[in-house]
A and B are shown apart, each in its own frame.
Chain A
Amino acid sequence: MKRKILGTLIAGLVMGVAANGAWAQAKISGNTVKIGVLTDLSGLYSDLGGQGSVIAAQMAVEDFKAQAKPAYAIEVVSADHQNKADIGSNKAREWYDTQGVDMITDVLNSAVAIAVSKVTAEKKRVLIDVGAASTRLTNEDCTPYTVHYAYDTYALAVGTGKATVKSGGDTWFFLTADYAFGHSLEKDTSEVVKANGGKVLGAVRHPLNASDFSSFLLQAQASKAKIIGLANAGGDTINTIKAAAEFGITKNQSLAGLLVFINDVHAIGLPATQGMLLTTGFYWDRNDETRAFGKRFFAKAKKMPSMIHAGVYSATMTYLKAVQTVGTDDADAVMKQLKATTINDFFAKGGKIREDGRMIYDMYLVEVKKPAESKYPWDYYKIKAVIPGNEAYQPLSMSRCPFIKK
């Protein structure tokens, strides 16, 4: 009899453990948390995100494993969206449907980001977008499953636009890349300039990937505006700045780069970029924590991290911590946790993910150093001002996101 009871007990115990195991598995799908880095691995923007973003995500996963020792596996996969919205959304669909990807990150290029955010909402997974600029991600095209992590056109406009007008640069002329991103950056910045008492004298729309900008610059020069706002990105910005230095434009007028990454400054060199004001969410040489990350990243990627690289690390880490806390990779539970989390790492201090998905954290207004002030490689920026998160980002009251109750 005793033996029978013992047997039952053991059987019960075994079943219980087994059931428990199965239960735990259901909480983390496939017992693996899979993170997809979807970025431009080969084109125009591949230095800003690209392979560097993959490295950053892997670093975050390794660090998280070392700290939290999770019982499940964590994997990073990556793909090239080639800056094409259809390729990006197809890849996201494939990842969600067949590969069990739980979260997609980076996704620079606003057009691709908006397409991927729609697929993500449909499949009920998580998109933490770091690289895209358009405010549409948290306004017209917002979804409950999208987080917009590092910066947006509003923050760039507020940061650089406001500071420039306040320091006397009250007349503006825009050089604008002739597509959605350029137009929205120009519009956001014009509004900020006007709101602060400045005037917009005109704009010239140039085609994307134009190789020669001297002609547009001469038009800007003829406008006699104090500030030439560059509402473009990547190679276009680089070519504009180079030509401006060559044509002596910067003697009487100042350039305001509205979306300039540290890689761009590195590519142009300090002689042509010195004195330029720009807004960024991350600078590697800001404090000990950022330096430590910068140096670790440099050892792997052979370049200092851009705002996007640092953001991908932070976003991945924040996501993994949320999964750990709620004990599941179920998107609804994780999103709820993400929106309740305060992010405190080298990237964001007191960062909060708002209801509309916008991550609110402090941005920095920086000035590019003179060649003589730069003491070591990648020593490029002086921090002029910290822009508190609630000033940098569009207030929730102005949100055009349909599910935000006002």
Chain B
Amino acid sequence: MELFGIPIQALMSQLMLGLVNGSFYAMLSLGLAVIFGMLNIINFAHGALYMMGAMVAWMGLNYFGVSYWWSLLLAPSVVGLIGIAIERSMLRWLYKLDHLYGLLLTFGLALIIEGIFRDQYGVSGLPYSIPEELGGAFDLGFMFLPKYRAWVIVASLSVCVATWYMIEKTKLGAYLRAATENPQLTQAFGINVPLLVMVTYGFGVALAGFAGVLAAPAMQVSPLMGSNLIIVVFAVVVIGGMGSIFGSIVTGLVLGLIEGMTKVFYPEASSTVVFVIMALVLLIRPAGLFGREK
């Protein structure tokens, strides 16, 4: 059976791979969306913090013998704490200013963080192997899916759904949304808004750290790994609608699939297709597919 001259089997396997990449996009754009939604900060350091997640996992394994599973918990915590330190010491002075200031500050931070790691570890990258429990592969009939990639889909979708649930359905999420909508009024109700904001930023960057650990065994662990990815993730956020939680998850996955298809039909365009879609969406719906006009 064939579709447009490509065997269905090959198409199915490419869709599967698109879903894996889409999971990374979803998790990273979710963090960005949470941060933008609550803090109004365009967090350009997100890629660097994603890289830091992977590097912390590598350091944990090589210097302290911390296993992959513990790293999944530990690295996001470390990255989250660093995020909180950044928020407390720098970002909080910028909330009242134009978006541009936050963007410049986080962009500068990204350059500094990447520079430090590059100076210490070079750019070729560091080896990080797949945990033994996830070695091997499932034979799905139409393709050979490594267990690790399957795990990436499961783990990132669970995290995405949990985050969405927390923000949209719980009391803490309600506080957060209230604080975004009207910080003064929320504070008047006795809710500690600065604390909420700090925790939100920490959580958003922890998501990036988590994605970094997930990426470590599958991709090159190197100081430049974040900057290669972050531009695409920003495009995903713009397409989904800045600040939309649900939009960022869905858009991330769908764009992963579209990119996967492009790799089959016209591989040369696979790095551009996301931006073409972004341009189209901006023409038709400037607020993004799931965004609200303010």
A residues sitting closer than 8 Å to B (CB atoms) are 42-48, 50, 178, 204-207, 209-212, 214-216, 218-219, 222, 234-235, 238-239, 242-243, 246-248, 263-264, 266-269, 271, 303
Contacts and interface: CB of A to CB of B under 8 A. Distances in A.
Contacts of B293: none
B122 A218 contact: no
Contacts of A212: 17, 20-21, 219
Contact of A216 (B115, B149, B229, B263): B263
Given A215-B260, A246-B146, A266 B268 contact: no
B108 interface: no
B267 interface: yes
Interface string B118-150: 100011111101100000010000011010110
A59 B15 CA distance: 52
Contact of A211 (B228, B260, B267): B228
Which of B17, B124, B219 counts the most chain A CB atoms within 10 A?
Answer: B124
Closest 8 CB pairs of A and B: A269-B127, A207-B271, A215-B263, A267-B124, A47-B124, A47-B122, A267-B125, A263-B124
A137 B226 CA distance: 34
Contacts of A242: 218-220
B248 to A, nearest CB: 19
B225 A211 contact: yes
B123 A222 contact: no
A210 B270 contact: yes
B224 interface: yes
Contacts of B146: 246-248
A222 B137 contact: no
A269 B129 contact: yes
A269 B146 CA distance: 19
A399 B219 CA distance: 40
Contacts of A269: 127, 129
22 contacts: A42-B118, A46-B122, A47-B122, A178-B268, A207-B270, A212-B17, A212-B20, A215-B17, A218-B17, A218-B143, A219-B267, A234-B124, A235-B228, A238-B125, A238-B220, A242-B218, A247-B144, A248-B144, A263-B122, A263-B124, A268-B125, A269-B127
A235 B220 CA distance: 7
A207 B263 CA distance: 10
Contact of A238 (B124, B143, B260): B124
Interface in B214-267: 218-220, 222, 224-225, 228-229, 260, 263-264, 267
Interface string B1-35: 00000010010011001101100000000000000
Contacts of A46: 118, 122-123
Given A205-B267, A215-B264, A246-B148, A267 B220 contact: yes
Given A218-B14, A264-B124, A243 B144 contact: no
A267 B127 contact: yes
A205 B263 contact: no
